[in-house]
Chain A
Amino acid sequence: MRKIVSLFMIFVLVFALAACSNSTNQVDSSKNADSEEVKELKVWVHVSADEPEGLNYDLRAKEFEEAHENVKVTVEHIVKTGEGSGYNDRLNAAITTGDLPDVITLESVHTASYVDSELLLPLDEYLDQATVDSYLDAIVKAGSVGDHLYALQSFDLSSPVFFNPDLFKAAGIEIPADENGNWTLDLAWNYDEFLKNAKILKDFMGQEPVHMFPDNSGWQMYAHSPIIFSNDGELVGENGLDTDGYLNSKNTMEAFKFMETLFREGIVSPTVRENAFALEKAAISFEGPWMIDVLTKEYPDLNWSLMPYPFGKEGHQSAPHGSWYVAATQATKYPELTSELVAHLTNKDSAKAMEEAAGLIPGHEELLASSEKYSEYPRKLMLDQLVETEHVKPKSPIFPVLEDVLGDIVEGIALETDSVEKLVEDAIEKAEREAARFK
């Protein structure tokens, strides 16, 4: 009886394994058969299908299919849920197993890491110059590493600096304005002017008049690194690896000292003050562009406007920008077609749709003049910042570490855990240890 049971069990196991293996083969063989006729392109995006960006990708993919015979584009929405989860997890797993799709979305700041690992396709080798030229310089620069272009996007963001005109007037501060009454980019305050006026506001309000998020997160690199860049400072050398001599250069240290002054003089609170600007507990706030909608809808009585990002040295004005870009991977069997798909996913129609649906700045030169949302101040200031200021975020394979060390420094300055010199010294040690793996 036992032998019969044993034989039966073996039969069941073998049958199960055989069944699994057969089904896989069937799928594979059908794929091979299909691929002779239809070119399949897979696109992975980090946004859900019901968000404007996700909908936009679906729509462009469908258009691309219709414009090309025997081409099938599948867009897979894998929502990014956090560090080491969702989209990033899936991407990492695909890199490990060599199973990357033809097109992916990625944060523009990580392009250098992917290029260093030879994962991305140089788009400029397959796209004509006119197509590349149609994008804003800021986008082309952000998507380029070395001499090649690897990632594109049809829109971009530029973070505004909000201010409260009522509080400014009440404190006796004259709001800079051009002949049309707009606070334009060329009227931006430098560090000293910013500090002088912030002190006036502090005396008037009796509390920290400027709101910034001082905790350690990616926000520091995105929103506050322009304080350094606008003082002609740098975080890392040209090779993307050396921090000694850059993170502690004279100009960068000056920028850190400026930040230190903001915290020590009681201009900025060393800890997060939620809704400080919306509740009129702060007169100036460094926040994301999405706050425009929040303030408009949730605080209709609040009088707010936008001011240019303050700068350190003349001629080096900078402002936050950057978003998720679209790139073609080396895994694609059809480099030319895939590059064309990247261009299509980020084309002018895409830019128009994203401006309409999400209020994002169009990423094509041609659309700037006709942009409804960004043709008038104060929003035009965001467009001016994107187009006319410097964007020198480091292009480095150790970008995650640079992001962390900048966060460590700013948080350390805010909480006064050490001197600026010691914080920078520790940061260099951390970054150099990581950089050594790439040298």
Chain B
Amino acid sequence: MNKIRRRINKHGFLGFILSSKCLFLLPAFILIGVFVIYPLLLAVGYSFTDYYLLKPNDISFVGFENYTEIAQDKYAKQSFVNSTKYVIFIVPLQVALSLFLAILIAKKSKVNTFFRTAFFSPYILSIIVVSLLWKNILDPELGIVNVFLAELGFAKQEFFANPDLALQTISFIILWQGISFQMLIIMAALQEIPSSLYEAADIEGANAWQKFRYITVPSIKDQLVFVLIVVTTGTFKIIIEPLVLTNGGPQGSTSSILLYMFEQGTRYRQIGYSSAITVVFALLLILIAFVQRKLVKEE
């Protein structure tokens, strides 16, 4: 710190910036400032106003009115609950399954190379393509799943039109697409574990579960925590899948926080209210990241 202060005194602040490594950070700072910090500050500002999209020159300060309205808005509450449900359905399964698949195909072999490519392929597809693909597969009349169910004598299922099924169906699609990327991260970590640890465990007579519990998991703990945080925050930010597949329906049963915020801003044109939801959502994500970090640190 003293070194920096001395250099600032010597070259002046601008000189310090231009002559030091800080210059290399400038593009990143500019991008984050323009596309993240500035819009976020704008959203905070707008959240205290009645900004209506079609009347940009008629904005009034309304204090905490938008925030109190969120507390009373049952549709906002429903979308918060839905987002939490997505997290509950997706996060544990995605972390567990990506770990399971990574262990299965971690060893280098020709068969595993094929499976790695196969498992990773959904990830490179666009979310919209994946959504439309599953919409066709699960179509109640012509979808292959329902045709198959009918052949087996089961009743056809309305995967997207049934309020009791739609959220789970979308969760499954998100899970299916997202699993491969997490699997790669974990697989890379698995390949870094020295084989001598497993050899020593074999000599000691450890069984497969003991090797997993006392060697594998502790060795990849950091990567697992990373996956957990990324999947949790990513799941809270779901918007495209419910937008494309159900538009938040039926009866709002698949609407997420982001989709509700988007709807309020673009469809109802209530930028002030939509900004307030954004701020609450951002605070929620910060809180989750903080709690997760705290728990990991304590660990």
CB distance from B14 to the nearest CB of A (A): 8
A92 to B271, CA, bound (A): 11
A-chain residues with CB within 8 Å of residue B139 when the two chains form the complex = 274
**Given that A271-B161, A433-B73 are known contacts, is A95 also in contact with B56, CB under 8 Å in the complex?**
yes
CB distance from A107 to the nearest CB of B (A): 12
Most buried by B among A6, A116, A412: A6
User: Which of these binds chain A: B46-54, B171-179, B212-220?
Assistant: B46-54
The answer, yes or no, to whether B163 is at the interface (CB within 8 Å) is: yes
Contact for B54 among A9, A119, A275, A401, CB less than 8 A: A119
Find the B residue at minimum CB distance from A8. Answer: B18
CB distance from A222 to the nearest CB of B (A): 16
**Given that A271-B140, A417-B163 are known contacts, is A408 also in contact with B266, CB under 8 Å in the complex?**
no
Contact A83–B54 (Cβ < 8 Å): no
Interface of B is mostly: loop
Interface residues of A in 206-225 (CB under 8 A from B): 215-217
User: Which of these binds chain A: B33-41, B87-95, B119-127, B244-252?
Assistant: B244-252
The answer, yes or no, to whether B142 is at the interface (CB within 8 Å) is: yes
Q: Convert A1-30 into 0s and 1s, putting 1 for each residue whose CB lies closer than 8 angstroms to a CB of B.
A: 011011001100000000000000000000
The answer, yes or no, to whether A96 is at the interface (CB within 8 Å) is: yes
Contact B251–A417 (Cβ < 8 Å): yes
A216 to B253, CA, bound (A): 12
Q: Convert A164-176 into 0s and 1s, putting 1 for each residue whose CB lies closer than 8 angstroms to a CB of B.
A: 0000000000000
Find the A residue at minimum CB distance from B158. Answer: A271
CB distance from B175 to the nearest CB of A (A): 24
Contact B19–A5 (Cβ < 8 Å): yes
Contact A215–B161 (Cβ < 8 Å): yes
CB distance from A332 to the nearest CB of B (A): 17
Q: Give the A interface residue count (CB, 8 A).
A: 41
The answer, yes or no, to whether A273 is at the interface (CB within 8 Å) is: yes
B-chain residues with CB within 8 Å of residue A261 when the two chains form the complex = none
**Given that A98-B56, A272-B161 are known contacts, is A215 also in contact with B250, CB under 8 Å in the complex?**
yes
Contact B268–A411 (Cβ < 8 Å): no
The answer, yes or no, to whether A182 is at the interface (CB within 8 Å) is: no
Contact A415–B250 (Cβ < 8 Å): yes
Q: Convert A405-432 into 0s and 1s, putting 1 for each residue whose CB lies closer than 8 angstroms to a CB of B.
A: 0001001100101000000000000100
Contact A415–B251 (Cβ < 8 Å): yes
Contact B267–A83 (Cβ < 8 Å): yes
CB distance from A194 to the nearest CB of B (A): 25
CB distance from B161 to the nearest CB of A (A): 4
Contact A274–B262 (Cβ < 8 Å): no
Interface residues of B in 47-76 (CB under 8 A from A): 50, 52-57, 69, 73, 75
Contact for B250 among A2, A216, A401, A437, CB less than 8 A: A216
Interface residues of B in 249-281 (CB under 8 A from A): 249-252, 262, 265-270
The answer, yes or no, to whether B15 is at the interface (CB within 8 Å) is: yes
B-chain residues with CB within 8 Å of residue A434 when the two chains form the complex = 268, 270
B-chain residues with CB within 8 Å of residue A95 when the two chains form the complex = 53-54, 56
Contact A117–B55 (Cβ < 8 Å): yes
CB distance from A269 to the nearest CB of B (A): 10
**Given that A2-B19, A216-B247, A272-B161 are known contacts, is A96 also in contact with B56, CB under 8 Å in the complex?**
yes
B-chain residues with CB within 8 Å of residue A415 when the two chains form the complex = 161-163, 250-251
The answer, yes or no, to whether A305 is at the interface (CB within 8 Å) is: no
A82 to B80, CA, bound (A): 24
A-chain residues with CB within 8 Å of residue B262 when the two chains form the complex = 84
The answer, yes or no, to whether A400 is at the interface (CB within 8 Å) is: yes
A-chain residues with CB within 8 Å of residue B14 when the two chains form the complex = 6
The answer, yes or no, to whether A88 is at the interface (CB within 8 Å) is: yes
The answer, yes or no, to whether B199 is at the interface (CB within 8 Å) is: no
The answer, yes or no, to whether A191 is at the interface (CB within 8 Å) is: no
Contact B75–A430 (Cβ < 8 Å): yes
Contact A437–B142 (Cβ < 8 Å): no
**Given that A6-B18, A84-B266 are known contacts, is A274 also in contact with B55, CB under 8 Å in the complex?**
no
Interface residues of B in 1-43 (CB under 8 A from A): 11, 14-15, 18-19, 23
CB distance from B221 to the nearest CB of A (A): 41
Find the B residue at minimum CB distance from A430. Answer: B75
Find the A residue at minimum CB distance from B62. Answer: A437
Find the B residue at minimum CB distance from A96. Answer: B56
Find the A residue at minimum CB distance from B54. Answer: A117
Contact B75–A92 (Cβ < 8 Å): no
Q: Convert A90-107 into 0s and 1s, putting 1 for each residue whose CB lies closer than 8 angstroms to a CB of B.
A: 001001111000000000
A433 to B142, CA, bound (A): 40
A-chain residues with CB within 8 Å of residue B251 when the two chains form the complex = 216, 408, 411-412, 415, 417
A119 to B142, CA, bound (A): 46
List A residues at the B interface (Cβ < 8 Å): 2-3, 5-6, 9-10, 83-84, 88-89, 92, 95-98, 113-114, 116-117, 119, 215-217, 270-275, 400-401, 404, 408, 411-412, 415, 417, 430, 433-434, 437
In the assembled complex, 27 residue pairs joining A and B whose CB atoms fall closer than 8 Å, in A order, are A2-B11, A5-B18, A6-B14, A6-B18, A6-B19, A9-B23, A83-B266, A84-B267, A89-B266, A92-B266, A95-B53, A113-B54, A113-B269, A271-B158, A272-B140, A273-B141, A274-B142, A401-B268, A404-B267, A411-B251, A412-B251, A415-B251, A434-B268, A434-B270, A437-B50, A437-B52, A437-B270
Known: A273-B141, A408-B251, A415-B161. 17 other contacts (CB 8 A): A5-B19, A6-B18, A9-B23, A92-B269, A116-B54, A117-B55, A215-B249, A216-B250, A271-B158, A271-B161, A272-B140, A273-B140, A274-B139, A404-B267, A411-B250, A415-B162, A437-B270
